[in-house]
């Protein structure tokens, strides 16, 4: 039998084929869109801290990835035999097919989402927590946008698979592309010509979708964007100077801002903090030094709840803040956590937001001020750290030192009472260290209360009111710099010598 080219070409103007193609487009896009939303909820559920929810979501994924779609389609379509009340809905082949495909695809898409969520750096979660954001706010504004961007190529690939799987819905008599083709070639026996046309229609749908997604990816790709110029002079010209943070004057009689009493912490049975007692008064600059593994970073992370306490308590501004065994979202913690600022050694800027958006995100979510006031304060804070000209850039377009200065500005725009620095220069090359240290020195001159973990000995001894030396999870010395420099301690002298401190 000779191949009929004329018949093949006629199929591309066949009304039934185009109507069937529209059915495929609707079915595939609805399945994909609903699957993305439900799959994200299932993925988040599988990562939940609640065991029952984790188990239920894991069971759902296991079950519907195990069931063949063909079996599921037939079962859903015939479900009214068991539950007659479902007949008005499931007697429609399109709705039955959509429900079956969504149930199946949600399980696959959930695992795609889970991979994306796990790919987002843990530091992003910690940065959100340090800014006092709730779990839901962190997920919606920080984690999920990044995870979706990571997962997009795989999600697009899943859509292509969905388009092809719509051909299975013909078993429940839905007039999609393959079923229209089957009707034709059972009448005229022109199987090859008809199936070639069917293939072309599927290829057309996929190609149009890929073109659209390609356009979206290019438009949303922050790594290929050229930052818009920021008119710093014009912005500053209309702003009046305003206080950025809570500034305190140090006083020997002042009550401590921070009080840590009998703090202990262990990992796998090994104690890393042993009965720590430490206080910081208003306006004080306290530096924590010590060899690697001495517990410095763990100590500073317990202060804002990034690490739980095994023993002891922390008081902030004279009020109960964190206690051993306390729940993460306790009222005492939630009501005061924004009083603390945290600058991480790895910057932890939000990569999907510009510099200015990084600063404005947390104050907006907290509703601290009006959007106008938040923007004005953010602009002034960027000017303070010398980064206003870079306000419209993304973090990847900045050097390490610039990113850390933005991280400092992001912390200070929240008006914290106490700022914590966790080795703010350890991730920087030597040429960028000084620019960050100069910003911290400027803040110290303005009377901002700071607790700094650092390996920069010259800096610590020159800027601090007190220097705390830690070793093996204990505070060995807590003295003024001059006292610590001259005290007769063999261990202290050896440490300073090994640290090239002159």
Domain ranges of the chain: 5-220, 258-498
According to the model, what pLDDT value does residue 325 have?
80
Identify which of 40-44, 218-222, 472-476 has the greatest average pLDDT. 40-44
Cα 463 from Cα 447, distance rounded (Å)? 12
Distance between CA 89 and CA 95 in Å, rounded?
7
Does residue 58 carry a pLDDT above 90?
A: yes
Distance CA(158)–CA(231), nearest Å, equals: 44
Rounded to an integer, what distance in angstroms lies between the CA atom of residue 2 and that of residue 372?
74
Residue 174 pLDDT:
86
Q: Which of 281, 274, 341 is nearest to 312 (CA)?
A: 274
pLDDT at 248 over 70: no
| 86 token code pair | 């479902």
The pLDDT value given to residue 77: 93
Q: What is the model's pLDDT at position 273?
A: 92
Better-predicted residue by pLDDT, 232 or 438? 438
Would you give the end-to-end CA distance of the chain in angstroms?
Answer: 95
| Number of alpha carbons in the 13 Å side-chain half-sphere of residue 54 | 5
Q: Which residues does residue 265 pair with via DSSP β-bridges, in sequence order?
A: 273
Tens of pLDDT along 125-139? Answer: 999 999 999 999 999
Mean pLDDT of 104-133: 94
The 10s digit of each residue's pLDDT in 363-395 is 999 988 888 899 999 999 999 998 999 999 999
Contacts of 257 (CB under 8 A, 6+ apart): 248, 280, 281, 282, 316, 317, 417, 418, 449
**Residue 241 contacts residue 384 (beta carbons within 8 Å):** no
Helix (H), strand (E) counts: the chain: 21, 10
Q: Using DSSP, state whether 210 is helix, strand or coil.
A: helix
6-27 core/surface letters (b: 16 or more CB in 10 A; e: else): eebeebeeeeebeebbebbeeb
Q: Which of the four pLDDT bands, split at 50, 70 and 90, describes residue 106?
A: very high
> Which tokens go with 310?
């095994």
Fold annotation for 5-220: MetI-like fold (1.10.3720)
- In whole angstroms, give the CA distance from residue 425 to residue 398: 15
pLDDT at 162: 94
∠ Cα 299 301 304 (to 5°): 120
In this predicted structure, which of 134-138, 184-188, 490-494 has the lowest mean pLDDT?
490-494
Of 394, 399, 442, nearest in space to 230 by CA: 394
* Contact (CB, 8 A) for 259 and 439: no
Q: Which residues have C-beta within 8 Å of that of residue 147, sequence separation ≥ 6?
A: 113, 116, 117, 119, 120
Encode pLDDT of 284-296 as tens digits.
999 999 888 889 9
Which pLDDT score, from 0 to 100, does residue 245 have? 56
Position 427 pLDDT exceeds 80 = no
The share of the chain scoring above pLDDT 90, in percent, equals 56
pTM above 0.85, yes or no: yes
Residues 76-99, mean pLDDT to the nearest whole number:
92
Express as a percent the part of the chain with pLDDT over 70.
Answer: 96
Residue 140 has pLDDT above 90, yes or no: yes
pLDDT confidence band for 173 (50 / 70 / 90) = confident
Q: How confident is the model at residue 494 (pLDDT cuts 50, 70, 90)?
A: confident
pLDDT range class, residue 189, cuts 50, 70, 90: confident
Q: Quote the CATH superfamily of domain 258-498.
A: P-loop containing nucleotide triphosphate hydrolases (3.40.50.300)
| pLDDT score recorded for residue 1 | 64
Please report which confidence band the pLDDT of residue 250 belongs to, taking 50, 70 and 90 as the band edges: low
Question: 387: phi > 0 → left, psi -120 to 50 → alpha, else beta; which?
Answer: alpha
pLDDT surpassing 90 at residue 27: yes
What angle separates helix 371-384 from helix 355-366, to the nearest 10 degrees?
A: 140
- 347, containing H or E segment: none
Q: Is the pLDDT assigned to residue 238 strictly greater than 70?
A: no
* Whether the predicted pLDDT of 223 surpasses 90: no
Q: What does residue 450 show for φ and ψ, rounded to 5 degrees?
A: -140, 145
What pLDDT does 359 receive? 95
Q: What is the mean pLDDT of residues 232-258?
A: 66
Sign of the C-alpha dihedral computed for residues 463, 467, 469 and 475 taken in this order: negative
Average pLDDT over residues 80-98: 92
C-alpha 326/C-alpha 308 separation (Å) is 8
Quick one: pLDDT at residue 492?
78
| pLDDT value for 369 | 85
Q: How many CA atoms lie within 13 A of 44 on its CB side?
A: 15
pLDDT of residue 268: 86
């Amino acid at each position: 039998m000779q191949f009929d080219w004329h018949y093949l070409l006629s199929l591309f103007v066949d009304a039934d084929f185009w109507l069937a193609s529209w059915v495929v487009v609707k079915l595939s896009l609805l399945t994909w869109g609903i699957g993305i939303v439900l799959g994200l909820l299932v993925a988040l559920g599988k990562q939940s801290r609640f065991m029952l929810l984790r188990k239920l979501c894991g069971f759902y994924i296991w079950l519907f990835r195990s069931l063949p779609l063909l079996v599921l389609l037939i079962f859903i379509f015939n479900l009214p035999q068991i539950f007659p009340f479902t007949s008005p809905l499931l007697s429609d082949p399109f709705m039955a097919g959509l429900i079956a495909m969504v149930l199946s695809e949600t399980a696959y898409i959930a695992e795609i989402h889970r991979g994306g969520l796990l790919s987002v750096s843990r530091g992003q979660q910690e940065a959100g927590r340090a800014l006092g954001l709730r779990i839901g706010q962190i997920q919606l504004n920080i984690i999920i946008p990044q995870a979706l961007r990571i997962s997009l190529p795989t999600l697009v690939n899943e859509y292509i698979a969905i388009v092809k799987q719509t051909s299975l819905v013909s078993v429940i008599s839905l007039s999609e592309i393959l079923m229209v083709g089957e009707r034709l070639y059972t009448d005229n026996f022109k199987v090859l010509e008809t199936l070639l046309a069917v293939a072309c229609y599927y290829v057309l749908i996929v190609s149009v979708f890929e073109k659209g997604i390609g356009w979206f990816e290019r438009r949303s790709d922050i790594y290929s964007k050229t930052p818009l110029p920021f008119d710093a002079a014009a912005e500053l010209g209309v702003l009046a100077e305003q206080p950025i943070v809570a500034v305190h004057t140090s006083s020997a009689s002042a009550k401590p801002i921070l009080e840590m009493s009998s703090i202990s912490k262990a990992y796998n049975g090994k104690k890393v903090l042993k009965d720590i007692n430490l206080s910081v008064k208003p306006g004080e600059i306290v530096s924590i030094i010590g060899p690697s593994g001495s517990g410095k970073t763990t100590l500073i992370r317990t202060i804002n709840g990034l690490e739980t306490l095994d023993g002891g308590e922390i008081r902030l501004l004279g009020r109960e803040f964190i206690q051993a065994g306390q729940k993460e979202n306790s009222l005492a913690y939630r009501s005061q956590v924004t009083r603390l600022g945290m600058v991480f050694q790895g910057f932890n800027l939000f990569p999907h937001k510009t510099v200015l958006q990084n600063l404005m995100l947390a104050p907006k979510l907290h509703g601290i001020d009006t959007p106008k006031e938040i923007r004005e304060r953010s602009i002034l804070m960027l000017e303070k750290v010398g980064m206003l000209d870079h306000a419209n850039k993304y973090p990847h377009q900045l050097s390490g030192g610039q990113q850390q200065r933005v991280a400092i500005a992001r912390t200070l725009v929240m008006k914290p009472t106490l700022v914590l620095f966790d080795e703010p220069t350890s991730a920087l090359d030597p040429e960028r260290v000084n620019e960050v240290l100069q910003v911290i020195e400027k803040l110290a001159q303005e009377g901002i209360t700071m607790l700094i973990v650092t390996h920069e000995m010259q800096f610590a001894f020159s800027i601090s009111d007190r220097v705390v030396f830690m070793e093996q999870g204990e505070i060995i010395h807590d003295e003024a710099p001059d006292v610590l420099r001259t005290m007769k301690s063999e261990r202290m002298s050896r440490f300073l010598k090994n640290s090239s401190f002159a």
